[in-house]
Amino acid sequence: MIDRSGGIVGWDLQLSARAAERLARRDTPRVLREAYWFALAQAARETADAARRVMLGLPLDALTDAGLLGQLPARTIVRVNEEQADELAAMDAGWASRIEAGGLLLAAPRQANRAVNCAFRLLDATARAPHDPWLPGSSERRVVMNLRTYEEVSEMVRSGVEFCCGNFVLAARRPEARQVPPLVVNAASILSAIISGRSSREVADRFKADIGLSHRLLHATRSAALALNRPLDSIHEAVMMLGARELYRWLSVLLMSSDGRSTIATALHETALARGRLLELLALARGRDDPAEQLFVTGAFSLLDLILNVPLEVALALTPLPPHATEALIGESGPWWPYLAIALGIERDDPAKLEAGCAALNIDPGTAVTASNQARDWAAHTLRHLRGAEGQATGAGAQRAPAPAQAG
């Protein structure tokens, strides 16, 4: 769920197609229905505990179940479809009072019940043709669901909808721009030097060629300098203090957040960082020879084309990656592809892709899902830190980059 700022603020929780089919059958036992409801309520509480907004849809019998409504966290957005709106319109005020007592918010295609106001006008992208205009010209707070592409989500954010949900990492058309910001070029050059094993002295010299990057590096190492109870004497000392492994991560985070031309840049940055962190955690969990820092870069760079608005091969040309990384990103093949397949399988709710990736790496799917949740939390925290630091920056090029996180 993406808000007006273009950042991820929560999740539209949906049951799987199989679960929805079973609930639609009249002969489904009540105990099974309640098990599905409990799972949704539990997921909603966990989402709210992580300081994220929740939106979910419920069957009509669940919408009128006082016990279930009481389990949902306050400010949960409850989706109501056209058919449910007809049913709810005929209900008494008792249902409305339970909704309001729990602090729940309704999103419906129209007013569902005179006794309770709908907080949001609900629009479903699957109800219109791909290129039809459809946003009503009104002052209503709108929520759009089931958007299909990066372009559709971007359009909705640009149009000022309150929240929109959908596949924001699938581009309908190939980016055509060829220019990237100078900071990206310089950061990529330094990352290339680290990947190719250049000396710390040469890496430091490349930093010195960009005053803005040098300033950010010193800020990133400030906490370590305070621990030493003395200022750092040079850029070279800062490079030595971080080390190649943390410079990998730090420069990747910087690259992900260095350009904001997209209306949903923040959501793309968070997702790219979450992918990178997940691949890193999976490599660490395996305990094999696969380099965690290079897998972090592989995951993070998987959305670099959308973030920079250039074809992926142009983005990857900035920083020559190991062959295994290029195989995974361009050809969806090679020994590192299963790592990325796991990330995509979880994002897309594709059990087959998730299980195939886990089988290839001999990783339990439950372990992968847990690592994905940890990666999401890390990415959100890193992005908040970055945005807060940028707000405190003074002077040209004085934005603080996030302090590198520990890999454990």
335: CB partners within 8 A, 6+ apart? 290, 324, 327
Measured CA to CA, the distance from residue 86 to residue 223 in angstroms comes to 59
Largest CA distance in the chain: 75
pLDDT tens digits for the chain (408 residues)? 999 999 999 999 988 878 888 888 888 898 998 898 888 999 999 999 989 999 998 888 888 888 888 899 999 999 988 788 777 777 766 677 778 888 999 898 876 555 567 889 899 888 776 555 556 556 678 999 999 999 999 999 998 899 999 999 999 888 776 677 777 888 888 888 887 788 888 888 888 888 888 888 887 777 554 455 555 667 888 888 888 778 877 887 777 666 556 889 889 989 999 999 999 999 999 887 778 888 988 998 899 888 888 888 888 888 878 899 999 999 999 999 999 999 999 998 899 999 999 999 999 999 999 999 999 999 998 887 766 554 443 333 333 333 334 333
For position 338, what pLDDT does the model report? 97
* Rg, Å, the chain Cα set: 24
Q: At what angle do helices 365-392 and 351-361 cross, to 10 degrees?
A: 100
Measured CA to CA, the distance from residue 132 to residue 123 in angstroms comes to 13
CB 401 within 8 A of CB 220: yes
Measured CA to CA, the distance from residue 273 to residue 264 in angstroms comes to 14
Residue type at position 108: A
Q: Which CATH class is domain 2-166?
A: alpha beta
CB 6 within 8 A of CB 266: yes
| pTM metric for this prediction | 0.82
Query: Residue holding tokens 């089988």?
Result: 359
Side-chain-facing half-sphere of 253: CA atoms under 13 Å: 28
Q: Which two tokens stand for residue 316?
A: 């990857």
For position 242, what pLDDT does the model report? 81
Location of each CATH 1.10.3210.10 domain in the chain: 182-392
Q: Among 3.30.420.40, 3.20.20.100, 3.40.710.10, 1.10.3210.10, what is the CATH number of 182-392?
A: 1.10.3210.10
Query: Residue holding tokens 């957040």?
Result: 257
Instruction: Kindly provide the residue ranges of all beta strands, DSSP E only, lying in 153-271, ordered along the sequence.
Output: 163-166
Location of each CATH 3.20.20.450 domain in the chain: 2-166
Q: Which two tokens stand for residue 194?
A: 């680290």
Measured CA to CA, the distance from residue 101 to residue 113 in angstroms comes to 16
Measured CA to CA, the distance from residue 21 to residue 45 in angstroms comes to 24
Please provide the DSSP assignment of 83-148 as one string.
HHHHHHHTS-HHHHHHHHHTT-EEEESS--BTTB--SEEEEEGGGS-TT-----SSS--EEEEEE-
Exposed e or buried b per residue across 192-201, where buried means at least 16 C-beta atoms within 10 angstroms of its C-beta? bbbbeeeebe
Q: Is 308 helix (H, G, I), strand (E, B) or coil?
A: helix
Pairing label, strands 77-79, 53-57: parallel
